[in-house]
Each structure stands twice: as structure tokens, then as C-alpha cells.
Amino acid sequence: MSEYPSTKYQRGKVFTKAGLKVGSNYAKHHLKRILNNKNADEVSASNDKKTLNTENANELFKAFTQLRGTALKIAQSLSVDNSGILPDEFLDVMSQAQYQVPPLNYTVVSSILKRELGEQVDSTFESFSKNAIAAASIGQVHQAQHSDHGKMAVKIQYPNVRNTIESDLTMAKSIMKRVVNTGKLDDYFKEIYEMLLKETDYSSEGAYLNHYAEKYRSDVVETPTWIQDLSTEKVLSMTFVEGEHLGEFLKSNPSQEERNYFGQLLWDFFHKQINEQRTIHADAHPGNYKFNRETRTLGVLDFGCVKTFPEHFFNNYMRALPLHKDASDAELRELYKNLQILQVEGSKKGADEAYYDFFKEFGSDFIRPYRSGVFDFGDEDFKKQISHHMKKATSFKEPVGSEQFIYASRVHMGLYNMLMKLRASVDTREAVEHIDAYLSTQN
């Protein structure tokens, strides 16, 4: 079990300690280069920088894990962002934020439930697991049994999370400015701030549960049902969705047919969300999906991070798929300008051409699944190509692109990563038709 620093003062101390450590590490690194490393070759200098980045990433991850809440959500958001915001070593370390989160002590959990629901746990539920079945950045989930609602999942928000979002982000941004060289950092953090406000309102998440149940629940997709009378802004009660998470599923050595089947469900669920509402389940990581072999259904969980994209960005993002297939250079350049990749204010001479060449090559490889009819995500060459582009993105000194890419990349790359782990073959033709149909309504 883990103690939780819930006041701004307690959290500020953790941030400050981490920031001082990161600053000290960078100062030592630069001093070493000046005194001892004048004649070092490029490879040695690069290795030293990678070691430094890993050490600093571990320092920040240790602090973010202790803080949970906003701090850990930042780590999760940045760990799956692909615009080059962080060095590669930071992405590797921060990716742990998706899984390695210590749960709160049960005494704290029971006191939160008593305050929010007005009754003791034993009076409200027939049974309630003292050990969390999942612990994430903003809250943790417990399994419960209720006389009227049956088997349930109950998500409890960590203390004071909403009240510390702004101060957490301010402190985190001051640390990140020592790592990241970009004038867009304020825009990126503003985007994260606005989404975090939504994620900490469990009443809003409950409404999204109802929305997705009405729009997407089917004989092959299952979503939880919101139990409103046992929910508040800080406690979310819902029906329990059975199944295995991706890691458990893969450990059981599933057949290729099973891999393909559930991979297809993941692919189809993502693309069915492309419509005029422009509202996407934007937290595509393995902990938010369950594979139920008995019912052959895909369970979709956690609707806190649901993103409605601006029309201008969403339409241009969708246009990137057909344009990378057969567009002229002029059309691609116009697209990149609309996505804030080219002609960024303050960018250095020649930077636009480097960005154009990179994104054209990356985009061409990224849309390969949409060109093939049936695509094998177990293709090792495809995985290597995507990895190569991700690594190259971190070599740019300044990340570019609209702040909307934070969540667009998160969901699209999250989908690809899960399908590559499944090594699933999926039929992509209906998705292409769906995108074309959407774009035809926007002309």
C-alpha cells in the first residue's frame, strides 16, 4: 500500500525534489562535457545523453508514481504521444505509467466511500474487495456485489485530485521545460489540463457510459452500465464487464483465429466512432479492453478520456489517410500547414523541409493498413518501420503539430500497438469506405 500526498504543499515538495534532481543531473552533464568531453566522439556523446535521459526519466517517473493524479496522467499522455515531445528514453520509462501504479490503502478508500455515498461500505454493498482490481492515475477500481445491481466495478477517485490539477501542471511544466525545447509546450499542457478536468468528473464519465452503451453496444461489443444512484463526481459505480485484458489473453497462447477475431473487433470499434460527432474513446491502451472468449465480445472500459475533436483538425486528420496514398506535394504541404506541422512560428530556416520529408515518409508507412484490404499487424517489417519513425521523431529539436495530436496519436497509435501485440490480421476495407463516406459529407 502507498501513502498519497494530497495537499498542494505535500505535492509541491515532491515536484521540487524531482525538479532539483533533474536540474542537477543536467548541470553535471554539461559540466562534464566542458571539462572532460571536448574530444569525445559523436557516439560517446550520444550514449552519455541517453544515459542522462534515462536517469532523469526514472527520477520523474518515481515522483509521478508517488503523486498519481495529474502528474501520472501527464506521464501516461506523454508516453504514447508520437510528435517528438520527449526523448526516446523518456517514452520507454514513462510507458510504465500505464501499469505500475500502487493502490491506496483500503482505510482511505472506505472513508472516501462513506463521505461520498453517506453510508459505510458494509451497509451499501453485500461484498466489497479490499484489494483494488485496477489502479490508475486518477482513481482505482474495486469489485463489489450489490443486492439490486449484482456484480459491480466501483471506481474511487484519489483525494483532492481535481483541486491540484492546475498547480500540478504548473510544476510539471517547469520541470519539462528543462527537457523539451518548444514554444508549444503551453498549448500541449492546456490541452491536457482541459481533458483532466473532464476526467475528474465521474458524473461526466457516467454520461459517456450511457452514450457509448446506446450508440456502440452490440452483440460483439460490451460496455458497462452506469449505476447512477451509487455514483457521485468522485465515485463511479457500474456493472462489471467480464473478460481478460490483453496481457492475460496473450499468456494463454490464443489461436491465430482468436487473435484475428478480437483484433478485428478493436479495429472496427475505433473506426465506427468516425462520424459527425467527432467524439472518440481516446484512451486506447490494453487496460481499457477485455476479451471475453465465452461470449466472444470485446469489453470497452474507462470512459473518462473521451475527446471531441475540433471539426477543422478532425477533418484534416481524416484527409491524411487518402492524401498520403496519392496526393501531390502541394496538397500534402497544405495539409501539413492545416495540422500546424509546417510554417510553425519561430521555426528555423530549413526546418519545414525536414519536417515535410519526415511526415511524408511516416504518413506513407502509417497508412499501409488502409491500402492492403487485409493487413497483418504481425508483419515485423511494419513494426520496425513504425519504431524507426518514432525514434526519428525524437531527434527533432522542436516538436511540431497541433495540440490535438496528443489525443489523436494516443488513440491511433494505441490501437496499432495493441494490434501489433496481438499479431492480428484485420480486414480494413470497411474502415476505408467509412472514412471516404465521412469525408464526402464534409465537402
Q: Which class is 102-135+138-161+205-241 in CATH? A: alpha beta
Residue 104: predicted pLDDT: 77
Supply the pTM of this predicted model: 0.80
Residue 77: predicted pLDDT: 56
Of 185, 195, 291, 192, residue with least CA distance to 243 = 291
Q: What is the CA radius of gyration of the chain?
A: 23
Measured over the CA atoms of residue 111, residue 112, residue 115 and residue 116, the dihedral's sign is negative
pLDDT digit string (tens) for 398-425? 777 888 888 898 899 999 999 999 999 9
Beta strand ranges found along 88-163 (DSSP E):
127-128, 134-135, 139-146, 150-157
- CA angle 400–321–345, rounded 5-degree value: 20
* Unique residue bearing C-alpha cell 470497411: 430
Of 372, 391, 379, residue with least CA distance to 416 = 379
* Unique residue bearing C-alpha cell 443486492: 147
Domain ranges of the chain: 8-99, 102-135+138-161+205-241, 242-443
How many contiguous H segments (helices) and E segments (strands) does the chain have?
Answer: 18, 12
Name residue 221's beta-bridge partners. 298
CA of 404: how far to CAs of 259, 319, 340, 341, 409, in Å?
A: 31, 15, 10, 12, 9
Residue 138: predicted pLDDT: 81
Residue 91: predicted pLDDT: 55
Name residue 298's beta-bridge partners. 221, 291
Residue 393: predicted pLDDT: 77
Which positions ≥6 away from 31 have C-beta within 8 Å? none
Residues 26 and 35: their CA atoms lie apart, in Å, by 14
Along the 443 residues of the chain, how does pLDDT read in single tens digits?
Answer: 445 555 655 666 655 665 555 555 544 554 555 555 555 554 454 556 667 666 766 666 666 666 666 666 666 555 544 444 555 555 555 555 444 566 778 888 999 999 999 988 888 999 999 988 887 778 889 999 999 999 999 999 888 888 777 777 777 777 666 666 666 777 888 888 888 888 889 999 999 999 999 999 999 999 999 999 999 999 999 999 999 999 899 999 999 999 999 999 999 999 999 988 899 999 888 889 999 999 999 999 989 889 999 999 999 999 998 888 877 888 899 999 999 888 755 555 567 788 888 899 999 999 999 998 999 999 999 999 988 887 787 677 677 788 888 889 889 999 999 999 999 999 999 999 999 999 998 86
DSSP-derived 3-state class of residue 409: helix
* Unique residue bearing C-alpha cell 550520444: 46
Q: Which three cell numbers stand for residue 225?
A: 452500465
